[in-house]
Amino acid sequence: MSDDKGVTEQPSYDLSNFKISEILLNNTRSKTITLLGIFPDLSDEDKAIVVLEKSAFGSDSTEDSVGGYFSQKTSYKAEFINNIYGNFEGLPPKEINKVKITVIYPATEKHIDKYSIRDKHLVLETPILYENVTEPYLKSTQFSLDWVYNILEHKKEKERIVFEDQDPQTGFILIPDLKWDGHSIETLYLLAIVHDRNIKSLRDLTDKHIPLLTNIRDEGLKAIENKYNIKQDQVRVYVHYQPSFYHFHVHFNPLNNDVPGMSCDKSHMLDTIINNITLMPDYYQKATLPFVLHDSALFEKFQEQEMRRVKPRLSCDSN
């Protein structure tokens, strides 16, 4: 079953039955709150993570967009008026006051870890540490890639595909990220997921992947310009290291949209990656790569290896 929003399946849970047990994260800047709880009518054991995100303001002046805040449909209460300064509380109509709700159910302990506040540590991963610590750890604990294969095999989110190149080596699917509501262009967020199933992450890239990487960049940017009318030099194209999911994918979002995970402690620009591999084909097998770890079993393993712990010295914001 499929409706006009591309929803292909009815959920097994009813959101109105969600019972909150814990607030995992309340980010007042991004206006998101991450909740842990259960659906008691389904199970007392299975945990659910629910993320609520207030939607971004639209950017046109009609009543369906930001103009709706200045119509009879919105009620106002003055907080204070002092000379030329005024502060009001506005209660806009529900159509322009939507909340995006993301659900993970049932959520594993690893999901709960990922979505909870933890102390963070910057580690420097040498190629040897990658081989001896990170790779074996990831092989045993990584998140399931079923959702990725469902997209690649057109079993899920098919209606949401923005662009596809089916070539097994250089092809990819461009699709809205889970984080994007799919509507407001200001917060556009797309993922390019490659068809080649042999690339786990940045670490695996060599010069043989240059045709794939340039294809993703060039065709991805073109598709975004055609469909969303965003100029190619206004889009940020990058890769996470470490990613959450070890099937190679690339993030696309507009420069004027600050999204979580875009800061320099996590992101590598696709242009820089292509340049590095062009200069040195095995750059990512030789490089020491920094990344941020939460308190976790993997961090303990890094400490066990007596790795030099680097005091935070990157001054960028780490969302």
Instruction: Report if residue 240 touches ligand G7M, rule: CB under 6 A.
Output: yes
Residue from 20, 178, 310, 316 binding ligand G7M (CB under 6 A) = 178
In the chain, the N- to C-terminal Cα span, in Å, equals 37
Task: Find how far residue 317's CA is from the centre of its chain.
Answer: 16
Catalytic residue status for 249: yes
Q: Select from 8-16, 51-59, 209-217, 239-247 the region that touches ligand G7M (CB under 6 A).
A: 239-247
Q: CB nearer to ligand G7M: give 72 or 140.
A: 140
| 251 annotated to bind ligand | yes
Which of these is catalytic: 111, 249, 268, 294?
249
Query: What angle (nearest 5°) sits at the alpha carbon of residue 258, between those of residues 257 and 260?
Result: 130
Copy the structure tokens of residue 121: 């540590």
Do the beta carbons of residue 52 and residue 35 sit within 8 Å? yes
Q: Select from 51-59, 171-179, 268-276, 283-291 the region that touches ligand G7M (CB under 6 A).
A: 171-179
Copy the structure tokens of residue 287: 């490089």
Residue 144 C-beta-side C-alpha neighbours within 13 Å: 9
Instruction: Report if residue 163 touches ligand G7M, rule: CB under 6 A.
Output: no
In the complex, minimum distance from the CB of residue 135 to ligand G7M, in angstroms, rounded to a whole number: 16
Do the beta carbons of residue 25 and residue 50 sit within 8 Å? no
Nearest to 265 by CA among 126, 123, 110, 117: 123
* Number of CB atoms found within 10 A of residue 301's CB: 17
The sign of the torsion formed by the CA atoms of 197, 232, 61, 29 equals: positive
Q: CB nearer to ligand G7M: give 167 or 181.
A: 181
Instruction: Report if residue 175 touches ligand G7M, rule: CB under 6 A.
Output: yes
Total site size for ligand G7M, rule CB under 6 A: 13
| 119 annotated to bind ligand | no
Alpha-carbon span 49 to 3, nearest angstrom: 25
In the complex, minimum distance from the CB of residue 93 to ligand G7M, in angstroms, rounded to a whole number: 29
Nearest to 228 by CA among 257, 186, 270: 186
Alpha-carbon span 155 to 152, nearest angstrom: 8
Q: Which residue is closest to ligand G7M by CB? A: 243
Q: Select from 11-19, 105-113, 172-180, 284-292 the region that touches ligand G7M (CB under 6 A).
A: 172-180
Nearest to 30 by CA among 48, 69, 66, 56: 56
Residue from 18, 245, 283, 291 binding ligand G7M (CB under 6 A) = 245
Binding characters for ligand G7M, 116-155, by CB under 6 A (x = yes):
-------------------------------x--------
Alpha-carbon span 8 to 282, nearest angstrom: 41
Instruction: Report if residue 265 touches ligand G7M, rule: CB under 6 A.
Output: no
| 179 annotated to bind ligand | yes
Residue from 50, 107, 191, 223 binding ligand G7M (CB under 6 A) = 191
Question: By the criterion CB under 6 A, which residues form the site for ligand G7M?
Answer: 147, 157, 175-179, 191, 240, 243-245, 249
User: Can you say which residues are annotated as belonging to the binding site for substrate?
Assistant: 147, 157, 177, 179, 240-251
Q: Which residues are catalytic?
A: 249
